Amino acid sequence: QVQFVESGGGLVQPGGSLRLSCEASLSIFNIYPMGWYRQAPGKQREQVASITTGGTTNYADSVKGRFTISRDNAKNTVDLQMNSLKPEDTAEYYCNVDSISRSGGIIVAWGKGTLVTVSS
């Protein structure tokens, strides 16, 4: 069974940076595009960034220019570098296969996530 383990969250002041990391238990990274998602309290989970196996990236407008997604297929990891953080970035962050793959029926269980809190 595939499992995702997210790490790197924490409390940061507005304007600060964090780097999230996700490790998968199996080598699905070599097959599917991967995505970072977030879910703020009272809101639906949304994908904020994705990356194909070849390294093509895509970002939600709300994070474009501030977040950078990267992957290491040999290590089965996908990272999210978050800069210029805003209070509205506060959320639980998760990784999984990207939303297009999930819509196509590739359903993988969510990990526990990592909490990012942006506050002064």
Q: Which of 92, 89, 94 is nearest to 119 (CA)?
A: 89
| Tokens 């490790």, located at residue | 23
Contacts of 65 (CB under 8 A, 6+ apart): none
Residues in the chain: 120
Distance CA 19, CA 21 (A): 7
Q: How confident is the model at residue 25 (pLDDT cuts 50, 70, 90)?
A: confident
The dihedral sign for the CA sequence 96, 82, 112, 7: positive
- Kindly report, residue by residue over 100-112, the tens digit of the pLDDT: 999 998 888 899 9
Tell me: pLDDT of 20 over 80: yes
Tell me: pLDDT of 33 over 80: yes
Q: What is the pLDDT of residue 35?
A: 96
The dihedral sign for the CA sequence 15, 119, 9, 47: negative
As a whole number, the mean pLDDT across the chain is 93
29 within 8 A of 101, measured Cβ to Cβ = no
| Tokens 């599917």, located at residue | 32
